[in-house]
Structure 1
Amino acid sequence: MFWSKTRKALRARGVMGINQRNGDYILRYNKRSLYPLVDDKLKTKKMALEAGIRVPELYGAIRTEQGISTLRKVVDTHRDFVIKPAQGAGGDGIMVIADRFEHYFRSASGRIITQDELEHHISGILSGIYSLGGHRDEALIEYRVRSTELFNRISYEGVPDIRIIVLKGYPVAAMLRLPTRQSQGKANLHQGAIGVGLDLSTGVTLGGTWHNQRIERHPDTANAVAGLTVPDWEDCLALAARCYDLTGLGYLGVDLVMDRDHGPMMLELNARPGLNIQIAMDDGLLRRCGIVEKHLDALKGEDRPAAERVEFSKQQFAVAGVVPQAAEEQQ
């Protein structure tokens, strides 16, 4: 009886379950032949660059054990950089170098790392220990995103990212993922990061969830996580909408980062985005996706420009009573 009432309550809120996500959205809207475009970060980055979508600059890629010897040359002119697996998932295998100390490297957490340790880490990436399915992989060395002052106040060590769910080019839900001490500076909810719902219309933060519990402040910085406005929000929505045109994937998770010098950048794409965004948003994906699908039926398959799709989503999914703060009010 309890579970029956729970299921009815969830259905009434328009909450999407994992079976619905897999059967009604991922299988329906995402052709398997297109998965490699987003499962391999190097392919995704190259496509984005060709389409004029901002991404963190690629300094180099190492594909073989012999290629590890080129690492010193690749990073020679960079004091900071990121090493990541091309086919990794959940933030595993990512190493962030924030500075140098004589002949050593300093991680984002302050740990001193030797050249041998970097090379050993890359060797592990190549062997596939971080990749989807354990397949041979390649290591990417790229620009380290520098977070904005606003985001630095509401995160611990790492760089927050923005996840936007896109259905057939229409943004339907968005959240900000904030690193914590527990998540070791990673914006990964399963490892202890905070999920903060975002009003699609304004980019205003709605409140946080940590381990599925509502919170008002960041546990490490003690700063409020609600009522803040994500900068360049219009650009974020436009970028997310364009990723549908880029890949052809109809149900997509778009992960963005906000760089203090370059603005919003696409970090990666996900053909199987998780469902925790519903907790952060306090709203169901099924309800929101249904609104878009009804709209698509009325259009009878007619494609609309990205700007028009974004405007539709802003109107349909605006949260009542949310007012963006002026930039000076967020200082």
Structure 2
Amino acid sequence: MFALIKTWKALQARGIMGINRRNADYVLKYNKRSLYPIVDDKIITKARALAAGIQVPEQYGIIATEKGIGRFDEIIDGRTDFVIKPAQGAGGDGILVVADRFEGGRFRTVSGRIISRAYLDYQLSNTLTGLYSLGGHRDRALIEYRVRPDPVFLPISHEGVPDIRIIVLLGYPVMAMLRLPTRQSQGKANLHQGAIGVGVDLASGVTLRGSWMNSKISRHPDTAQPVDGVQLPHWDRFMELAARSFDLCGLGYIGVDLVLDETRGPLMLELNARPGLNIQLANDRGLTHRTQAVEDHVATLAGSGVSETPPERVRFSQHLFRQAPAA
């Protein structure tokens, strides 16, 4: 028992945030339940983002009923690659990424698997029944543009699309990580499926060391290339998009997921009202010290009757949370 208490005190001293604290002090405090549909439904999120002038992957169409599955060919309109995802899915479940299309009604997924049109229809039907949705409720299927990753990720990613998760409190970015697909994750950038989480310095956009399967790493397990020291292009743009997401949804504590397309640049994928805590492992830093610093800053501004714009919030975070690479 003494050892456990000692360990917990050590974690507190480093500012490590536990799930109970996240829920009580941040999710419940800053996220109004009435606003959850804005982030839990990807179709609503996408519409709000476009209205705010934030770029997102192009939406080809929506299937809401079993009868609507018959419109699939019309929706993809001859395109050979696309993504199918549940509107209210979580954790990457139910997402199907198609990279090519062949004669005879067959498709190739990004991992190289050949699937039939019947399988694709089955996937759409499962999505509609709510198999992948939050709470198992009936859902809609979203068909959209397949992101093509920027070449900067080729040496440090296995198939799939790397993404960037930025935790934002009251419009201030507080921590970021790059999530890299692996063979273990089957090309998906989800940590619980075996992707790598790599810390990112908020000030510069340079990657730090990473975490994979709860172990610290410095090289990608599939490519053997270093994951640290990589300069992410357009970093200030990513930071501004994250800061603006607070104004877009009104939720005070969110995870903002973004991608870098080779031709379209930074795109916002989705928002998360209950972002996980593994980002602390990726950065080897705790969230609590940073979130408390933001809360103190916001309280000081409120006392003066001042509010900051997204660029000003980004500058504050980049100045205060600058993180040097590990030796």
Please confirm whether the aligned pair reaches a TM-score higher than 0.5, indicating the same fold.
Answer: yes
Summarize deviations over 1:186-228 as a string: whole Å, max 9, x none: 1011111000000000000011110111111100111110000
Q: Which of 248, 254, 267 is residue 252 of structure 1 equivalent to? A: 254
Summarize deviations over 1:215-248 as a string: whole Å, max 9, x none: 1110011111000011100000000000000011
Distance (Å, rounded) in 2 between the aligned partners of 1:249 and 1:56: 22
Q: C-alpha root-mean-square deviation of aligned residues, in Å?
A: 1.0
Matches within 5 A, 1:239-318: 239-300=241-302, 302-318=306-322
Structure 1 unpaired stretches of 5+: 323-331
Q: Which of 174, 192, 198 is residue 172 of structure 1 equivalent to? A: 174
Distance (Å, rounded) in 2 between the aligned partners of 1:25 and 1:87: 22
What's the counterpart of residue 117 of structure 1? 119
Shift of 1:321: 6.1
Q: Which amino acid aligns with 2:89?
A: G
What's the counterpart of residue 328 of structure 1? none
Distance (Å, rounded) in 2 between the aligned partners of 1:68 and 1:213: 43
What's the counterpart of residue 20 of structure 1? 21
Shift of 1:111: 1.3
Matches within 5 A, 1:85-234: 85-103=86-104, 104-234=106-236
**TM-score normalised to structure 1 length:** 0.96
SS at match of 1:166: strand
Residue identity over aligned pairs, in percent, reads: 64
Distance (Å, rounded) in 1 between the aligned partners of 2:47 and 2:66: 23
Distance (Å, rounded) in 1 between the aligned partners of 2:324 and 2:89: 38
**TM-score normalised to structure 2 length:** 0.97
Shift of 1:303: 2.1
Q: Which amino acid aligns with 2:134?
A: L
Report if the CA contact (8 A) 2:180-2:195 is conserved: yes
Report if the CA contact (8 A) 2:98-2:107 is conserved: yes
Distance (Å, rounded) in 2 between the aligned partners of 1:85 and 1:321: 38
Report if the CA contact (8 A) 2:208-2:325 is conserved: no
Shift of 1:83: 0.3
Q: Which amino acid aligns with 1:160?
A: P
Q: Which amino acid aligns with 1:131?
A: S
Deviant stretches of 4+, over 2 Å? none
Structure 2 unpaired stretches of 5+: none
How many residues align? The count is 322
SS at match of 2:80: coil
Q: Which amino acid aligns with 1:80?
A: D
